[in-house]
């Protein structure tokens, strides 16, 4: 039986759209009488940008769950959200409007307010000496900006630490890229991936809290025989699926697919070796197809891997069992494999359907199926893990 760490969120400004499923044998967070150690005079000062959004709220949940130490925290959002009251760790905070002066005396800022906001305010924060961990696509492909998954390439952040009086930008990869690389990287370290084909099945949470609410609303409307409200995706989402809603580029790929391709290859992210030598493994071939599915939160991905060196499926299974941040759900007898519902609100990425690719000779190909919480490991958890490495 796979065991996850399960999280109960505190009293935050949250929508009730978690899509949470209780996993038998899962570990629950301690109850409300636990003494929290997060507020510490020796901790860094934090700011959460986009705090009223789905990922912004998850930032707070992860900070709470992991007892991330901080001496102060600013809750920042747009002018429209400013003035809202938010209870966090038993204290009431007022959401402040994001301005040029918001980052005075802020050590770490967690951004999830969209690319345009990050481009405008991220560099301003860095100028004030703040280390920015950005969840948007604004800086991911920018030269000199580390694109980091802590389990994959922590060395990319070498030299960036709180207390050195110097600001910096660190980019969170796209959620699909993070979930994919959590499983692909341990296998690559063993046998070197030369080609990867990824098909993603992406939840409403990837488009934000409004999309989650619309999926719930449409489900009620369709079941009641009413025409569905289609504001976010301009089409029926409930009981349907469609190509990812990002713009389609001249090459026929959409923007989400190209994010996965480019981010996986940036600095040889899968291979890790570029940070240790002058070698750059951008010869890893990657292609992707991204589909939006009517799931509340947590993405699923079918991944086909081709290796330079043979890798038996049993060896692959052992490698994945030992890899940090992964849990194996691969029971062929009972046909039990990862699902988005059971990884919702979980930290670990689930891996299953581990099998040899029969279209390739020998053990040079492997198929796996992964599921991970898009808001958590695909965004907020990864960012907070990066922040932990800054201390």
Categorize the per-residue pLDDT at 246 as very low, low, confident or very high, splitting at 50, 70 and 90: confident
Nearest Cα to Cα of residue 113 among 73, 148, 81, 65: 81
**Residue 330 C-beta-side C-alpha neighbours within 13 Å:** 20
Considering the domain architecture, whether residues 233 and 305 belong to the same structural domain is answered as yes
Output the average pLDDT for the chain.
87
Q: How many domains does the chain have?
A: 2
Asked if pLDDT for residue 11 goes beyond 80, the answer is no
Q: Which of the following is catalytic: 7, 175, 180, 371?
A: 175
User: For the ranges 200-214, 262-276, 346-360, which has the lowest average pLDDT?
Assistant: 262-276
Categorize the per-residue pLDDT at 37 as very low, low, confident or very high, splitting at 50, 70 and 90: low
Asked if pLDDT for residue 274 goes beyond 50, the answer is no
Asked if pLDDT for residue 293 goes beyond 70, the answer is yes
Considering the domain architecture, whether residues 165 and 243 belong to the same structural domain is answered as no
The answer to whether residues 289 and 270 touch, using CB atoms and an 8 Å cutoff, is no
**Which phi and psi (to 5°) does residue 98 adopt?**
-70, 125
Considering the domain architecture, whether residues 336 and 360 belong to the same structural domain is answered as yes
- What's 19's DSSP letter? -
Categorize the per-residue pLDDT at 5 as very low, low, confident or very high, splitting at 50, 70 and 90: low
Between CA 335 and CA 20 the distance in angstroms is 22
Categorize the per-residue pLDDT at 80 as very low, low, confident or very high, splitting at 50, 70 and 90: very high
> In which order are the strands placed within the sheet that holds 365-372?
242-243, 285-292, 193-202, 299-307, 365-372, 349-356, 326-328
Considering the domain architecture, whether residues 367 and 385 belong to the same structural domain is answered as no
Considering the domain architecture, whether residues 30 and 140 belong to the same structural domain is answered as yes
Q: Name the E strands within the chain.
A: 45-49, 72-77, 85-88, 91-94, 96-97, 108-111, 131-134, 168-171, 193-202, 242-243, 285-292, 299-307, 326-328, 349-356, 365-372
The answer to whether residues 122 and 138 touch, using CB atoms and an 8 Å cutoff, is yes
Tens digit of each residue's pLDDT (9 = 90 or more) over 93-122: 999 999 999 999 999 999 999 999 999 999
Considering the domain architecture, whether residues 145 and 105 belong to the same structural domain is answered as yes
Considering the domain architecture, whether residues 188 and 105 belong to the same structural domain is answered as no
The pLDDT score that the predictor gives to residue 281 is 47
Average of pLDDT values for 43-55?
95
Concerning whether 6 is annotated as a catalytic residue, the answer is no
Between CA 207 and CA 232 the distance in angstroms is 8
Tens digit of each residue's pLDDT (9 = 90 or more) over 141-174: 899 999 999 999 999 999 999 999 899 999 999 8
Considering the domain architecture, whether residues 202 and 340 belong to the same structural domain is answered as yes
The pLDDT score that the predictor gives to residue 31 is 37
Asked if pLDDT for residue 299 goes beyond 80, the answer is yes
Query: Residue 127's domain is classified under what CATH number?
Result: 3.40.50.720
Cα separations in angstroms, 45 against 48, 59, 148, 263: 10, 15, 22, 30
Give the residue with greater pLDDT, 336 vs 256.
Answer: 336
Considering the domain architecture, whether residues 333 and 278 belong to the same structural domain is answered as yes
3-state helix, strand, coil in the chain (%, to 5): 30, 25, 50
Q: Which of the following is catalytic: 7, 244, 299, 371?
A: 299
The answer to whether residues 40 and 70 touch, using CB atoms and an 8 Å cutoff, is yes
Considering the domain architecture, whether residues 186 and 323 belong to the same structural domain is answered as yes
Beta bridge partners of 303: 198, 368
Average of pLDDT values for 65-73?
96
Asked if pLDDT for residue 189 goes beyond 80, the answer is yes
Considering the domain architecture, whether residues 49 and 118 belong to the same structural domain is answered as yes
The pLDDT score that the predictor gives to residue 13 is 41
Categorize the per-residue pLDDT at 186 as very low, low, confident or very high, splitting at 50, 70 and 90: very high
CA 358 to chain centre: 31
Query: Residue 365's domain is classified under what CATH number?
Result: 3.30.360.10
Average of pLDDT values for 287-300?
94
Structural domain containing residue 347:
177-375
Concerning whether 175 is annotated as a catalytic residue, the answer is yes
Tens digit of each residue's pLDDT (9 = 90 or more) over 303-353: 999 999 999 999 999 999 999 999 999 999 999 999 999 999 999 999 999
Average of pLDDT values for 201-210?
91
Between CA 124 and CA 132 the distance in angstroms is 10
The pLDDT score that the predictor gives to residue 7 is 55
The pLDDT score that the predictor gives to residue 271 is 40
The answer to whether residues 7 and 61 touch, using CB atoms and an 8 Å cutoff, is yes
Between CA 376 and CA 61 the distance in angstroms is 9
**Rg of the chain's alpha carbons, rounded to an integer?**
21
Q: Which residues contact 314 (CB under 8 A, 6 or more apart)?
A: none
Average of pLDDT values for 235-258?
90
Asked if pLDDT for residue 356 goes beyond 70, the answer is yes
Considering the domain architecture, whether residues 40 and 97 belong to the same structural domain is answered as yes
User: For the ranges 1-10, 58-67, 238-247, 309-318, which has the lowest average pLDDT?
Assistant: 1-10
The pLDDT score that the predictor gives to residue 275 is 30
Between CA 386 and CA 350 the distance in angstroms is 21
Categorize the per-residue pLDDT at 284 as very low, low, confident or very high, splitting at 50, 70 and 90: confident
The pLDDT score that the predictor gives to residue 141 is 87
């Amino acid at each position: 039986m796979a065991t996850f760490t399960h999280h109960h969120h505190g009293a935050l400004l949250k929508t009730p759209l978690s899509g949470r499923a209780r996993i038998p044998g899962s570990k629950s967070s301690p109850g409300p009488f636990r003494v929290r150690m997060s507020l510490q005079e020796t901790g860094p000062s934090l700011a959460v940008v986009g705090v009223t959004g789905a990922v912004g709220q998850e930032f707070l949940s992860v900070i709470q769950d992991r007892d991330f130490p901080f001496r102060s925290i600013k809750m920042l959002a747009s002018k429209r959200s400013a003035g809202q009251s938010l209870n966090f760790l038993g204290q009431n905070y007022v959401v402040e409007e994001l301005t040029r002066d918001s980052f005075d005396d802020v050590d770490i800022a967690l951004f999830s307010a969209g690319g345009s906001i990050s481009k405008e305010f991220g560099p301003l924060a860095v100028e004030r000496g703040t280390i920015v961990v950005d969840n948007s696509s604004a800086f991911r492909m920018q030269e000199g900006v580390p694109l980091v998954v802590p389990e994959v390439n922590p060395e990319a952040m070498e030299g960036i630490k709180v207390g050195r009086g110097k600001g910096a930008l660190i980019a969170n990869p796209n959620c699909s890229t993070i979930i994919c690389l959590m499983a692909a990287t341990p296998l690559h370290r063993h046998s070197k991936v030369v080609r990867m084909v990824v098909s993603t099945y992406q939840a409403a949470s990837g488009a934000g809290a409004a999309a989650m609410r619309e999926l719930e609303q449409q489900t009620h409307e369709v079941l009641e025989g009413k025409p569905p409200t289609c504001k976010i995706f301009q089409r029926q989402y409930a009981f349907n699926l469609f190509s990812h809603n990002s713009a389609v580029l001249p090459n026929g790929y959409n923007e989400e697919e190209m994010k996965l391709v480019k981010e996986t290859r940036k600095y040889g992210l899968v291979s890790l070796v570029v940070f240790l030598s002058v070698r750059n493994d951008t010869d890893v071939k990657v292609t992707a197809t991204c589909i939006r599915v009517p799931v509340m939160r947590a993405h699923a991905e079918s991944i086909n891997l081709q290796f330079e060196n043979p890798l038996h499926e049993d060896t692959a299974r052992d490698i994945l069992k030992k890899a940090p941040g992964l849990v194996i759900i691969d029971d062929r007898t009972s046909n039990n494999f990862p699902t988005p519902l059971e990884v919702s609100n979980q930290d670990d990425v689930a891996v299953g359907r581990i099998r040899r690719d029969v279209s390739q000779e020998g053990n040079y190909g492997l198929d796996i199926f992964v599921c991970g919480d898009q808001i958590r490991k695909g965004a907020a958890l990864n960012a907070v893990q990066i922040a932990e490495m800054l201390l």
